Amino acid sequence: MEISRRDFLKASGAGLGGIIIWRALGSDKKGFPKDITLKKEAIGETPTICCYCSVGCGAVVAASEDKNLVVNLEGDPDHPINQGSLCPKGQALLQINNVDGKINPYRLTKPLYRAPGASDFTEISWDDAIERIAARVKETRDRTFIKTDSNGKTVNRTEAIGSFGGGELDNEECYILSKMDRALGLVYMEHCARL
Amino acid sequence: MTNHYIDFRNADYILIIGCNPAENHPISFKWITEAVARGAKIINVDPRFTKTSSKAHVYARIRSGTDIAFIGGMIYWVIQDMEAHPENYNMDYVKNYTNAALIVNSGIKLPNDIGQNGVFSGFNPTTNKYDKATWQYGNTTTPETDTTLQNPYCVFQLMKKHYSRYTTDKVSQITGCPKDQIEAIYKEFAKSGAKDKAGTLLYAMGATQHTYGSQNIRAYSILQSLLGNMGIAGGGINALRGTSNVQGSTDQALLWQYLPGYLPVPVDTDADLNAFMTRAKGAPATPKGLAWDKSINWKGNYDKYIVSLLKAWYGENATKDNSFCFDYLPKAKTGANYSHIALMDAIGRGTIEGLWIWGQNPAAGGPNSNGARTALANLKWMVSADLWINETAEFWRRPGVNPADIQTEVIVLPAAGSYEKEGSISNSGRWVQWRYKAVNSPGEAMPDLEAMNLVMEKLRELYEADTSAPNREAITKLAWDYGEEITSDNVAKEMNGYDLTAKKLAASFIATLKNDGTTSSGNWLHCGQYPEEGKNLAKRRDPVDVSLNKIGLYSNWSWSWPVNRRIIYNRAAVDFDGKPWDSNRPLVQWDAANKKWLGDVIDGGGDPINIAAVGDKRGPIIMNNDGVANMWGRALADGPLPEAYEPWESPITNLMSGQQIDPCSYISTYMNERGTVDKYPYVGTTYRCTDHWQTGIMTRNLPWLNELSPNMYVEIGEDLANSLVPRIEKGDKVKVSSARGSIEAIAVVTKRFQGIQVNGTTIHHVGVLWHWGYSGLSKGDSGNILTPNVGDANTTIPESKTFLCNISKV
């Protein structure tokens, strides 16, 4: 019986299906690998949808045992739109996470802070970042809040805070951003759909 | 898009105008190729001969920004052919499913009528705005019709009169496309008007990024309606959108003028919730004398969706007595514009002091980058959540500025990547597809969902403590109890909504949502995605095509809004008996024996027109109040029909009328110089390449993609390159300048661009990528330094596709 990738994913439940990766370390004079290690640990397979254009192609992500690195990424053969194929950007998805087995050095891994006039960022904690953001938002909002307009009409808005993003966020993220922006009284809220 | 990507394979004719799927949506081309294998013809119209063009059966090179002339000419050609050979077209569809037969107010004046000078009736030259009274139907509640299409005020005759000026000679003069090519294309695509043929139209930012971008799309829609191509398999008007979830972000209303699900945003003239809901619902108009007799006006349900939204946002605090907390919501100022260009201008003027950005890069992604970067320095504070440091996050240390001069406080939050978190995204075909977490995000990077939650939790704490803060209840009474372990699963349920009485997830917006506060739904369009506990339909992975004749709907793969309908307006796919116009492509069909619809989820419910009872014979286009496709538009900013104008910066004067530009264009006054043809003789246009994406911050940091496309480049034709002194060779470093600024780039000299003869002069294009900037691994100048800060009359989308520039060897 032929097992489709879908069945394979189903059978593997939480995605514990193992695939074996041949890793060549150097080669002999004829070009054959001289030292081969068999990667034997379970690496899992998780379906995803590409984050670049809007076609919505499926890909399958395999992760290292500690779940900290993507070790393989390929087109999802069961996906009805791309049927296993990926374009150059889709094939490069892996490098968003890592380059040659190390986290992509350009990825941000800590919150950063740039003080007024400073010439560089400094690392800060998440707690510090969140406290600063909330304090700035509240101060600006409350000081600039327009409760009623010149006609005495309740308008409950601030025109002093803008919100951008994000055609790259998940729907659920977009939704709570939409909700929180409005709760705060923002009207200047936009994203790349306008571009 | 009205249809979906796989559906391209069902088309007989594929008109690709204003997009380049072979390079920018490569996998979509798989389905175009499949259509071609079945015998379909690709027709491609583009200023540049792209990889898409190389696969086209017919290609036409037109001057950038002349789509309305080109398509207007085709509309006129089809109207004439339709009168001569009605048997070649679906006249039942044209008369009953579009507003062709509806009679317009006799006060209407067209741009070529005496004294109109290129504008429609109702134009106020002082305000540059229209009074639209004369654009309405003569009878606005029960419009009169003439199904012989002869009445001079019926839409068909008004279109014929309006577009009679768009002769192929005139179109050739304006577009620069030879007359025989124009006619060949008109003739070819018009064949899709036959009942048993399907034609699809694909577009992207090549169509929208113009001061009359909305009218470009309107022109396409008119053509597709006239040809009976809307609502059918292999047809439709299909936007190939630029980012993976720009469909979903729009659906969730990250645009100032909407609430989630395209509900309107409250404004200061809405007296109260009831007045707001009345405005949102509009009123049905039922045309007299058509085959059907009931306009569904689906927007009449918007009160249910608005109240359900308020219940999702304010929970038990939202009661009938307090108008479901409607007062808490911000009310936009009437007449104000809060869109991208206006937002950047407001930063420049100092109105906006703080800006938070969740995955966007306006220092390189919007128009007029120099202006945008200068404006950002006026901010007191800025937050940037992203995977990388982008140009916006470090605008204060960009080349040429002294950080000490810039007082903006910047907080950067490290975000998780798409497979480092869980949630759904919606592709252009409205498929809501669930993604899973495959790996941990690096270091302290966090999903935006969690970061937003932390910010809002902290804000709620601050507002709980400050009883004097203005409108604090909007924050303290907000239903925001996601807890520290916020999950996309919980949010997806909130979006879907609940029957609050039964305490169950809502089955669908049709079955469940009410206007009395007994239901909630954060976005009615998502209502039905999560109809039961444990049943998130966006997770479905059944790759079996269960559609009639296997037309590729894949209805059990993920879920699409609304109510898993795969092709919208599908009520137009059948005749009055519910029989598909084309039996080979049955999208929906009436099963008379069992009295039910088969195939895709039918739009609007009810029985077919000939079977339904008098008074319940439903018009097909349920989102329009008159039940038909609106070839004649009654609510646009700049005219009921598309009229050809020139771009804000154009090398020629308008050959169609004395009105040079779209009179309702949105023109920024912040650092927005306008160039003239004596200094900037070439037409610049921006686009993307396969290996990079948007401002490049998601691709320029990936070594593989940099190896494929390492440098910022611009493209010009061999004829232009050879005519310049000094001559430009492939690989030379060149300078491209516009009135807004200049960039340096590598020259790519090809045959893909060629000079175009426009009204006796040769016009050259310069193609500019916009993927680069000063941040990240691969650096280069940003194409948007050149683009103007002017926007479409209806949407204010910037005119990045046509501007004046100059080029020289460095």
Alpha carbon distance B231, B619 (integer Å): 13
Say yes or no for a CB contact (<8 Å) between A82 and B427.
Answer: no
Q: In this complex, is the C-beta atom of B248 within 8 Å of any C-beta atom belonging to chain A? A: yes
> CA separation (Å) from B641 to B159, B228, B549, B627?
8, 18, 37, 19
- pLDDT for A26 beyond 70: no
pLDDT of residue A36: 74
- Three-state secondary-structure class, residue B415: strand
Identify all chain A residues contacting B453, using CB atoms and an 8 Å cutoff.
176
When pLDDT is averaged across residues B518-530 and rounded to a whole number, the result is 98
How is residue A22 written in tokens?
A: 């041949």
pLDDT of residue A37: 72
Q: Which of B25, B252, B429 sits opposite A178 (nearest CB)?
A: B252
Written as one string, the DSSP assignment of B60-125 is E---TT-HHHHHHHHHHHHHHHHHH-GGGS-HHHHHHHBGGGBBBPTT---TTSTTTTTS-TTEET
A:149-168 residues touching chain B, CB 8 A cutoff: 149, 151, 153-168
Alpha carbon distance B621, B634 (integer Å): 15
Say yes or no for a CB contact (<8 Å) between B388 and A113.
Answer: no
Q: Which of A115, A135, A155 sits opposite B330 (nearest CB)?
A: A155
Alpha carbon distance B762, A21 (integer Å): 58
pLDDT of residue A28: 54
pLDDT of residue A61: 98
pLDDT of residue A38: 73
Say yes or no for a CB contact (<8 Å) between B693 and A53.
Answer: yes
How is residue B10 written in tokens?
A: 């069902």
When pLDDT is averaged across residues B706-715 and rounded to a whole number, the result is 97
B482: how many CB neighbours lie within 10 A of its CB? Answer: 18
* Residue A90 pLDDT level (bands cut at 50, 70, 90): very high
How is residue B429 written in tokens?
A: 């075909």
**Cα distance from A122 to chain B (closest Cα, Å)?**
10
Query: Which of B395, B398, B399, B390 lies closest to B409, judged by CA?
Result: B395
- Give the DSSP H or E segment for B22: helix B21-24
Say yes or no for a CB contact (<8 Å) between A97 and B439.
Answer: yes
pLDDT of residue A16: 38
Q: Which of A48, A88, A107 sits opposite B445 (nearest CB)?
A: A107
| pLDDT tens profile B748-759 | 999 999 999 998
Q: Which of A93, A109, A191 sits opposite B443 (nearest CB)?
A: A109
User: How do the residues of chain A divide into helix, strand and coil, expressed in percent and rounded to 5?
Assistant: 25, 25, 45
**Cα distance from B784 to chain A (closest Cα, Å)?**
11
Query: Percent of chain B beyond pLDDT 90?
Result: 100
- R_g (Cα) of chain A, nearest Å: 24
**Is cis: bond before B284, omega within 30 of 0?**
no
B515: how many CB neighbours lie within 10 A of its CB? Answer: 16
Q: In this complex, is the C-beta atom of B388 within 8 Å of any C-beta atom belonging to chain A? A: yes
Q: Give the residue from chain B lying closest to A151, CA to CA.
A: B268
CATH dotted code for A5-103: 2.20.25.90
Q: Where are the beta strands (DSSP E) in A28-145?
A: 36-38, 46-49, 58-63, 70-75, 98-99, 102-103, 112-114, 122-123
pLDDT of residue A10: 44
* Residue A43 pLDDT level (bands cut at 50, 70, 90): confident
Count residue pairs from A and B with Cβ separation < 8 A: 503
- Three-state secondary-structure class, residue B316: helix
Choose the mutation target among A43, A55, A148 for the interface with B, i.e. most B CBs under 10 Å.
Answer: A55
**Cα distance from B681 to chain A (closest Cα, Å)?**
25
Q: Which of B388, B419, B523 sits opposite A175 (nearest CB)?
A: B523
pLDDT of residue B516: 98
Place of tokens 């690998």: A33
- pLDDT for B443 beyond 80: yes
Alpha carbon distance B120, B482 (integer Å): 52
Q: Give the residue from chain B lying closest to A184, CA to CA.
A: B475
* Residue A18 pLDDT level (bands cut at 50, 70, 90): very low
Mean pLDDT taken over chain A: 87
pLDDT of residue A116: 98
Query: Which of B800, B804, B694, B794 lies closest to B216, judged by CA?
Result: B794
How is residue B794 written in tokens?
A: 């209806």
Query: Which of B34, B574, B625, B595 lies closest to B280, judged by CA?
Result: B625
B340-468 CATH pick, 1.10.4160.10, 3.40.50.740, 1.10.287.470, 3.40.720.10: 3.40.50.740
Q: In this complex, is the C-beta atom of B708 within 8 Å of any C-beta atom belonging to chain A? A: yes
pLDDT of residue A15: 40
Q: Give the residue from chain A lying closest to B355, CA to CA.
A: A162
A:4-33 residues touching chain B, CB 8 A cutoff: 6, 9
| pLDDT tens profile B141-152 | 999 999 999 999
Q: Give the residue from chain B lying closest to A135, CA to CA.
A: B459
B74: how many CB neighbours lie within 10 A of its CB? Answer: 28
B457: how many CB neighbours lie within 10 A of its CB? Answer: 17
| pLDDT tens profile B646-704 | 999 999 999 999 999 999 999 999 999 999 999 999 999 999 999 999 999 999 999 99
- Three-state secondary-structure class, residue A144: helix
Say yes or no for a CB contact (<8 Å) between A170 and B424.
Answer: yes
Q: In this complex, is the C-beta atom of A83 within 8 Å of any C-beta atom belonging to chain B? A: yes
**Cα distance from A73 to chain B (closest Cα, Å)?**
11
Phi then psi dihedrals of residue B585, to 5 deg: -125, 65
Say yes or no for a CB contact (<8 Å) between A133 and B455.
Answer: yes
When pLDDT is averaged across residues A59-66 and rounded to a whole number, the result is 95
Q: Which of B268, B403, B415 sits opposite A155 (nearest CB)?
A: B268
When pLDDT is averaged across residues B740-754 and rounded to a whole number, the result is 98
Identify all chain B residues contacting A194, using CB atoms and an 8 Å cutoff.
255, 339-340, 795-797
Say yes or no for a CB contact (<8 Å) between B449 and A184.
Answer: no
When pLDDT is averaged across residues A164-191 and rounded to a whole number, the result is 97
**Cα distance from A3 to chain B (closest Cα, Å)?**
14
pLDDT of residue B631: 98
pLDDT of residue B487: 98
Mean pLDDT taken over chain B: 98
Say yes or no for a CB contact (<8 Å) between A138 and B381.
Answer: no
- Three-state secondary-structure class, residue B566: coil
Alpha carbon distance B559, B360 (integer Å): 27
**Cα distance from B83 to chain A (closest Cα, Å)?**
39
Q: Which of A133, A179, A194 sits opposite B255 (nearest CB)?
A: A194
B468: how many CB neighbours lie within 10 A of its CB? Answer: 6
Q: In this complex, is the C-beta atom of B454 within 8 Å of any C-beta atom belonging to chain A? A: yes
Overall residue count recorded for chain B in this entry: 810
**Cα distance from A35 to chain B (closest Cα, Å)?**
26
Q: Which of A67, A85, A165 sits opposite B358 (nearest CB)?
A: A165
| pLDDT tens profile B165-220 | 999 999 999 999 999 999 999 999 999 999 999 999 999 999 999 999 999 999 99
When pLDDT is averaged across residues A92-105 and rounded to a whole number, the result is 97
B5-101+140-242 CATH pick, 3.60.20.10, 2.60.40.10, 3.40.228.10, 3.30.1360.10: 3.40.228.10
Strands lying side by side in the sheet with B431-435: B423-426, B431-435, B559-560
pLDDT of residue A44: 80
pLDDT of residue A30: 61
Q: Which CATH class is domain B666-809?
A: mainly beta
B516: how many CB neighbours lie within 10 A of its CB? Answer: 12
Q: In this complex, is the C-beta atom of B412 within 8 Å of any C-beta atom belonging to chain A? A: yes
Say yes or no for a CB contact (<8 Å) between B458 and A134.
Answer: yes
Identify all chain B residues contacting A56, using CB atoms and an 8 Å cutoff.
5, 244, 425, 427-429, 431, 433
What are the boundaries of each domain within chain B?
5-101+140-242, 340-468, 666-809
Q: In this complex, is the C-beta atom of A56 within 8 Å of any C-beta atom belonging to chain B? A: yes
The answer, as to whether pTM is greater than 0.90, is: yes
Q: Which of A83, A170, A178 sits opposite B425 (nearest CB)?
A: A170
What is the number of alpha carbons within 13 Å of residue B204 lying toward its C-beta? 22
Choose the mutation target among A54, A109, A154 for the interface with B, i.e. most B CBs under 10 Å.
Answer: A54
* Residue A11 pLDDT level (bands cut at 50, 70, 90): very low
Q: Which of B268, B357, B694 sits opposite A153 (nearest CB)?
A: B268
Alpha carbon distance B467, A69 (integer Å): 47
- pLDDT for B781 beyond 90: yes
What are the boundaries of each domain within chain A?
5-103, 108-142, 145-195
When pLDDT is averaged across residues B33-51 and rounded to a whole number, the result is 98
Exposed (0-12), middle (13-18) or buried (19+): which is B742, by Cβ within 10 Å?
middle
* Residue A29 pLDDT level (bands cut at 50, 70, 90): low
Q: Which of B330, B423, B703 sits opposite A99 (nearest CB)?
A: B703
- Which residue type, as a one-letter code, is found at position A152? G
Say yes or no for a CB contact (<8 Å) between B435 and A165.
Answer: no
When pLDDT is averaged across residues B270-283 and rounded to a whole number, the result is 98
Query: Percent of chain B beyond pLDDT 70?
Result: 100
Identify all chain A residues contacting B240, using CB atoms and an 8 Å cutoff.
53-54
